[in-house]
A and B are shown apart, each in its own frame.
Chain A
Amino acid sequence: MLKATIVVKLKEGVDDPEGKTIKHSLNLLGFEPVVRVNVARHYEIFIDAPREEGEKMIEEMLRKLLINPVIHEYEVRVEEI
């Protein structure tokens, strides 16, 4: 069994209103030193397939659904469990 950990985040330079709002709230709560918050999506996808096939599938998943290349970048880690 494979476990793919995928983090999808906004590209540098794409405005992140959610991160900004959270930063503002944290400042309000007294965490004044917080200067920036980035929000990312973290997917854990479990795949019952051999490694090579699984990695190919993940590439496809990213392309077909999980990211929009205009605004997103991503990191993938695949491990056998």
Chain B
Amino acid sequence: MKVAILQMEGTNCEEESYMAFKEIGAEPEYLHLNLLRPGMLEDYDMLFIPGGFSSGDYVRAGAIFAARLKAKAWNELRKFVEAEKPVMGVCNGFQVLIELGLLPGTDGISDVPEAALATNESNRFECRWVHLKKERDSIFSANVPDRIVLPVAHAEGRFIASPRVIEEMEAQRQVVFRYIAPDGSKPDYPWNPNGSINDIAAVVNSYGNVFGIMPHPERAFFWYQHPDWTRIPRNRGDGYYVFESLMRIIEAKNR
């Protein structure tokens, strides 16, 4: 599986993402936005937009990345999505997918953003680990256990959309992960770290191939990246299972 890891100035989680894909046996490649030429995207099986602060998060987190990507390769990107090839964005990458109108994608692709990842309720960047509940299987979550922990690190992660969009998303079961309190109850701050509506942490589009997630699976790929490994033994980091899910599905498809 050839994975394009998109880069531009300010993306900064590309190395750990690259490592995660490499570890599961995919063939990741960095692809800088400045080097993106017509026809290049179709060479890849998957597109990955890593976290970071593309263009410093100026204007809005992810907005400049999205605008430049759209200007350069919108039609190709559409084709990529319509061909049901997987597209995944983590953190800033999720923000980019929202700005592109690829997520929540209640009806495929939207020309204007249908949601926003707004400033955290706490009004500050926070780096902390959160508990997540898996809401459904998808090519990004099939192998993920029902309850996992992952780190968040963002200032703009509060998922907002109109009641209509939220309703549609819920009806189509597009929410893949929700924040949850450690005892399984509905999370207050800090368990819902940003104030997202319906505790939404990760969503997939209606086709099931575009996935955006605020927490960072690539930073929890190995057991020793967990903050409590000196307390709880694990064989793998919880984020590993996101990548493993992808690999299994793609492999099965190619067979």
Q: With A17-B123, A65-B64 as known contacts, state yes or no: A71 contacts B116, CB within 8 Å.
A: yes
CA distance A37 to B142 in the complex (A): 45
CA distance A68 to B96 in the complex (A): 12
CA distance A21 to B123 in the complex (A): 7
**Is the CB–CB distance between A17 and B121 below 8 Å?**
yes
Check A3 for interface membership: any CB of B closer than 8 A: no
CA distance A15 to B121 in the complex (A): 8
Size category of the A interface is 10 to 19
Closest to B123 in A: A17
Query: Which residues of B pack against A, CB within 8 Å?
Result: 59-60, 63-64, 67, 70-71, 99, 112-116, 118-123, 158, 160-162, 195
Closest to B112 in A: A69
Check A56 for interface membership: any CB of B closer than 8 A: no
Closest to B62 in A: A68
Q: With A14-B160, A64-B70, A65-B67 as known contacts, state yes or no: A70 contacts B119, CB within 8 Å.
A: no
**When the two chains form the complex, which single residue of A17, A41, A69 contacts B119, counting CB atoms closer than 8 Å?**
A17
Check A63 for interface membership: any CB of B closer than 8 A: yes
CA distance A15 to B162 in the complex (A): 13
Shortest Cβ distance from residue A19 to the other chain B in the assembled complex, whole angstroms? 9
Closest to B66 in A: A65
Q: Which residues of B contact A66 (CB under 8 A)?
A: 59, 63
Q: Which residues of B contact A16 (CB under 8 A)?
A: 119
Closest to B115 in A: A70
Q: Which residues of B contact A14 (CB under 8 A)?
A: 118, 160
**Is the CB–CB distance between B114 and A70 below 8 Å?**
yes
Check A51 for interface membership: any CB of B closer than 8 A: no
Shortest Cβ distance from residue A27 to the other chain B in the assembled complex, whole angstroms? 15
Shortest Cβ distance from residue A67 to the other chain B in the assembled complex, whole angstroms? 8
Q: Which residues of A contact B122 (CB under 8 A)?
A: 17
Closest to A43 in B: B59
CA distance A17 to B189 in the complex (A): 14
Q: Which residues of A contact B158 (CB under 8 A)?
A: 15
Q: Which residues of A contact B63 (CB under 8 A)?
A: 65-66, 68
Check A59 for interface membership: any CB of B closer than 8 A: no
Check A9 for interface membership: any CB of B closer than 8 A: no
**When the two chains form the complex, which single residue of A15, A18, A21, A70 contacts B113, counting CB atoms closer than 8 Å?**
A70
Q: With A14-B160, A15-B195 as known contacts, state yes or no: A68 contacts B60, CB within 8 Å.
A: yes
**Is the CB–CB distance between B113 and A20 below 8 Å?**
no
**Is the CB–CB distance between B123 and A68 below 8 Å?**
no
**Is the CB–CB distance between A63 and B112 below 8 Å?**
yes
